[in-house]
Chains A and B, each alone.
Chain A
Amino acid sequence: IVLTQSPGTLSLSPGERATLSCRASRSVSNSYLAWYQQKPGQAPRLLIYGASSRATDIPDRFSGSGSGTDFTLTISRLEPEDFAVYFCQQYGNSPWTFGQGTTVQIK
């Protein structure tokens, strides 16, 4: 399954809402879709799994939605620490695959 993320780069200001898209080339089984955040020089951090469940200690400004082939990560109000790269990943079908990433940068 090929995952295509859009946009490639999102330029926003702190306090604004961010909407990131992840589209799959075919349906993701059981909505086994995850979102990760990665900052420079760091390992990725799991934000969302099962398309909409927040991982441990993830703030509620992060939310995930979608099913089938279309998924969305929403950050309701951007905090300074949220500017990073975000990846989606499907784990419903082997081989597990990642999207190419969306960079959320400060406008």
Chain B
Amino acid sequence: EVQLVESGGGLVQPGGSLRLSCAASGFTFSTYWMSWVRQAPGKGLEWVANIKYDGSEKYYVDSVKGRFTISRDNAKNSLYLQMNSLRAEDTAVYYCARRTPGAFGYWGQGTLVTVSS
């Protein structure tokens, strides 16, 4: 059974940093592109970042370029999102998702990031 479990969310002040993690199991993690998708409270979905199965390619939505970094550790079956210079508009539930093959076939339960003073 495919499982994706996010962690690392919480309350952070504007300008602060946070690192999200996603633990994957039930599939061969090293052979899949992975993504982060977020959803602001009561709002729609926004794709944030993609990473190739070997980490050699990374793509970001413009609003997070230069502030967020997606990475992975295939030996640990883990996906990460380093978020720096956080803004109020980054407040959202962040989902880890596996591409199957292009669409998001599997999702974690999400972790809430709140940026507020």
Contacts and interface: CB of A to CB of B under 8 A. Distances in A.
Interface string A40-57: 000111100110000110
A36 B102 CA distance: 13
Interface in A67-107: 87, 89, 91-92, 94-101
B102 A94 contact: no
B27 interface: no
B45 interface: yes
A20 interface: no
Interface range for B: 10 to 19
Interface residues of A, number: 23
A43 B62 contact: no
Contact of B47 (A56, A98, A101): A98
B103 A49 contact: yes
A107 to B, nearest CB: 23
